[in-house]
Amino acid sequence: MTPSKSILWKTLQQSAGTVPRLTTLFANQPERAKNMSYRVGGLYADFSKQCITPEIQADLFTLLASCNFDDWRAKFFAGDNVNTTENRPALHPALRGTGGDRHIQKQVRDMQIQTRAFCEHIRAGGRYKTIVHIGIGGSDLGPRLCADALSADHTPLLEIRFANNMDGASINDALEGLDPATSLVISVSKSFTTQETKMNSVAAKIWLGEHAQTNMIAVTANRHSAKEFGISPDKIFDFWDWVGGRYSLWSAVSLSLQIAYGPDVFDALLKGAHEMDIHFQSAPLVQNLPVMLAMTGIWNCNFLGFPSQAIIPYARHLQGFPTFLQQLEMESNGKGVTRDGKPAGITCPVIWGDEGTNSQHAFFQHIHQGHGSAPIDFIAILESSEARPAHHTALLANCFAQSEALMVGKNEDIVRGELIARGMTTAEIDALAPHKTFPGNHPSTTILLEKLDACTLGNLIALYEHKVFVQSIVWDINPFDQWGVELGKVLAGTILNELNNGTDISAHDSSTQALITLARAALKP
């Protein structure tokens, strides 16, 4: 039975209207923070500022168990075809040594031996100064996030530049000021058919000129097309159809990271993810961190009615995390039908966010006092690698202050008392008090990283990957396909042809016709 039709779902719906305010929950539960905090690897996660009672928490775990969670998790790690619409497994954990059969494990090991040897060769050779990583979506966001995050604790041997967008500025900026002789171009595309990556790779190949044969590499699950493109077979690194694009950073897709930071640092990233895999596989539901993160999200989205979820890393080096999670969560779980093709209920919330403290000075006003406020995952690092201790102390103070302020709020009586103390008249107080009142009771989770090192980064990313999987089980959807991106790609091909060749556009609506006409006029040589 669909979970949303179950008695438990209705019980949870009724509970949603009865949750005491967060401040009351804390007053009544002296051990609340301790009871609702988890430690896994280098992570500490505190869920106590979520609007959840112990009874609701227990019901959420029962709900998950009733969705055959144990079976799904076992199938996932065993390499069953959990990606049902594409009839294949989603075995990214095997890339970090968890799950899969002997054949898959050998494929992974062989690839890791090949990439390690190649990276060591490039690093020892000293010929290259810069890597230009070309890719988009899952072939960009993971390596891009990690390149930035790893630089908190390590100095890359080579600079990495990224080119993702169709906008020519993306590849132009990436190549700006580089010498083709000392640049290694890595073209990353699972399909090797993605328009952006193809156009940027063609531009880079032309730019490399005589060096293209030696300095251009491909990472792909479509070796044939990479060869057709002109990459020599010994410079093609494979990954496999059982690695989804947005789950692929653990593969040769991150070759640029492995070269720049060294294979040992990359292994530490894999180790951190493996640690989270083992925890996810073995911890009982009540102690299972990805499960708690997922079920808290389900509670906020399906029962408390929050349409979005904010991710606020208080760490400059994790600035890319909200964007990475946008693809991971929304491309995975932004689905309209269940596994058997029936209409799904409400699924993935909109994921958004930016780094703290910048976001405090941009959109936090809306979260504190606007309508449709979002639950927040605050992410901060305890031990900073920056030699700015005063900055770091203030950064943490701001992070903790925001979650407290969002929870506690400020009621009108307190505001009025403050204004009276300032000597204001009753009329002035009546006019100002509503503006200075904060409703509070906004839910948040705080995740602290002991340190932003490779291993803890692996913990963090794998945590969210498994969160997405758990939620998909409750929503009864396939998180490993992405059919919704296809229609726009097909239409873009049609319109590109019409822009280039001036063919008939009368089949389009009048808005699209007008846009094409304007563009044709502007694009004329």
Contact (CB, 8 A) for 236 and 205? no
State yes or no: is 120 an active-site residue.
Answer: no
Kindly tell me which residue out of 194, 201, 332, 444 binds ligand F6P, with binding defined by CB under 6 A: 194
Per annotation, catalytic residue among 275, 329, 331, 355:
331
Query: Is residue 189 part of the contact set for ligand F6P (CB under 6 A)?
Result: yes
Kindly tell me which residue out of 246, 416, 442, 467 binds ligand F6P, with binding defined by CB under 6 A: 246
Per annotation, catalytic residue among 103, 361, 435, 524:
361
Provide the strand spans (E) within 135-280. 159-163, 183-188, 216-220, 236-238
Closer residue to ligand F6P (CB): 67 or 461 = 461
Of 32-40, 73-81, 117-125, 131-139, the window that binds ligand F6P (rule: CB under 6 A) is 131-139
Query: What whole-number distance in Å separates Cα of residue 466 and Cα of residue 454?
Result: 18
Kindly tell me which residue out of 48, 139, 256, 472 binds ligand F6P, with binding defined by CB under 6 A: 139
Give the x/- contact pattern for ligand F6P in 270-309, rule: CB under 6 A: ----------------------------------------
CA dist 353 → 313, 331, 419, 454 (Å): 8, 16, 34, 23
Supply the minimum distance, in Å, between the C-beta of residue 525 and ligand F6P: 30
How many angstroms separate the first and last alpha carbons of the chain? 61
Kindly tell me which residue out of 50, 183, 187, 197 binds ligand F6P, with binding defined by CB under 6 A: 197
State yes or no: is 361 an active-site residue.
Answer: yes
Kindly tell me which residue out of 485, 492, 514, 519 binds ligand F6P, with binding defined by CB under 6 A: 485
Query: What whole-number distance in Å separates Cα of residue 133 and Cα of residue 187?
Result: 6
Q: Which residues pair with 381 in a beta bridge?
A: 449
User: How is residue 79 written in tokens?
Assistant: 């390499």
Closer residue to ligand F6P (CB): 139 or 215 = 139
CA dist 382 → 215, 275, 389, 391, 395 (Å): 40, 20, 11, 12, 10
> Which residue bears the tokens 């090991």?
109
Of 18-26, 136-144, 177-185, 493-501, the window that binds ligand F6P (rule: CB under 6 A) is 136-144
Query: What whole-number distance in Å separates Cα of residue 207 and Cα of residue 258?
Result: 24
Closer residue to ligand F6P (CB): 245 or 322 = 245
Query: What whole-number distance in Å separates Cα of residue 66 and Cα of residue 173?
Result: 51
Kindly tell me which residue out of 94, 136, 265, 311 binds ligand F6P, with binding defined by CB under 6 A: 136
Dihedral-angle region of residue 191 (phi above 0 means left; psi in -120 to 50 means alpha; beta otherwise): alpha
Query: Is residue 134 part of the contact set for ligand F6P (CB under 6 A)?
Result: no
* Active-site residue set: 331, 361, 489
Question: Where does this chain bind ligand F6P (CB under 6 A)?
Answer: 136-139, 189-191, 194, 197, 245-246, 331, 482, 485
